[in-house]
Amino acid sequence: MSRSIDDILNEMESCIDQWEDAASLQASLDANYKSWEAAQKLALMDSGESGVKAENQVRSSPKWKKLFVDLQMQNICVEKSNRQIKLLQNRFEAARTAAADARRVV
């Protein structure tokens, strides 16, 4: 059963709001991840470790893994929202074309 253009637009508006929330959280997680990693690496380098060793130590910690995985999961959420919006755009175009075709038939 085809949905009305208004229904599709309402759903698209909701998906855009969800995308905005997901993108804002992604930006926050990205900033937290990068600043934590840089601070840890800098502290190790200030205590005499080489840059490579400091990076390896930081990236082998459970905290780094958690921050990294949280960020990647949020990236997936943002991408899923993008794909839902694209799908709704396609549905909107199909409904708009169907409505235009129906007007021509009459």
DSSP 50: -
Place of tokens 């921050």: 67
Identify the residue with better confidence: 87 or 104: 87
- Quick one: pLDDT at residue 1? 44
SS3 27: helix
Q: Is the pLDDT of residue 102 over 80?
A: yes
10 Å CB burial of residue 58 (0-12, 13-18, 19+) is buried
Per-residue pLDDT tens over the stretch 39-65: 999 999 999 999 999 999 999 999 999
Return the domain boundaries, the chain. 30-96
Tokens describing residue 24: 């804002």
pLDDT at residue 106 tops 90: no
Sign of the torsion formed by the C-alpha atoms of 53, 58, 61 and 67:
negative
* Predicted structure pTM score: 0.83
